[in-house]
């Protein structure tokens, strides 16, 4: 099973909105409403910020939102803040009881 495709890097200015894409196939992202997103600060473990495509765990800012269209899931961060600078990873259920991640996207807040 191939990894999901994410842009290696994205950037934005404070206050702006950015969107990170996560592209798979009909056998993973497109086939199931089971995409999650993680924020990873340098030297830290990943932190869950979105699950089941668009649900936010308690304590996660409303500035983070998730969506899906066809084989592509998206994470949108609105009102960018400097401490949003991190790596972001998507994850999807795939056929035959397997779970796959994207390669990760590095967000730079300019």
Partner 1 sequence: QVLLQESGPGLVKPSQTLSLTCTVSGDSFRGSGYYWNWIRQSPGKGLEWIAYIYHTGHAYYNPSLKSRLTLSIDTSVNQFFLSLSDVTAADTAVYYCARGGPELATLNRFDPWGQGILVTVSS
Q: Is 108 in the site for partner 1 (CB under 8 A)?
A: no
| Segment contacting partner 1 by CB under 8 A, of 15-23, 68-76, 77-85, 99-107 | 99-107
Q: Is 31 in the site for partner 1 (CB under 8 A)?
A: no
Q: Is 102 in the site for partner 1 (CB under 8 A)?
A: yes
What is the pattern of x (binds partner 1, CB under 8 A) and - over residues 50-69?
Answer: -xx----x------------
**Four-CA torsion 44, 102, 7, 48, nearest 10 degrees:** -40
Query: How many residues in the shown chain lie near partner 1 by CB under 8 A?
Result: 27
Which string of b and e fits 25-36 if b means at least 16 CB within 10 Å?
bebbbbebebbb
**Do 74 and 68 meet the contact criterion of CB atoms below 8 Å apart?**
yes
CA-CA distance, 42 to 65, in Å (whole number)? Answer: 22
- Interaction site with partner 1 (CB under 8 A): 1, 3, 34-36, 38, 44-48, 51-52, 57, 89, 91-93, 96-104
């Amino acid at each position: 099973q191939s990894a999901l495709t994410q842009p290696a890097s994205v950037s934005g200015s404070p206050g702006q909105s950015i969107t990170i894409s996560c592209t798979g196939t009909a056998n993973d992202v497109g086939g199931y409403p089971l995409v999650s997103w993680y924020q990873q600060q340098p030297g830290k473990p990943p932190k869950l910020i979105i699950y089941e495509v668009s649900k936010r765990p308690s304590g996660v800012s409303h500035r983070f939102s998730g969506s899906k269209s066809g084989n592509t899931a998206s994470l949108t961060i609105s009102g960018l803040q400097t401490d949003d600078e991190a790596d972001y990873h998507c994850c999807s259920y795939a056929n035959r009881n397997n779970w796959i991640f994207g390669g990760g996207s590095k967000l730079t807040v300019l």
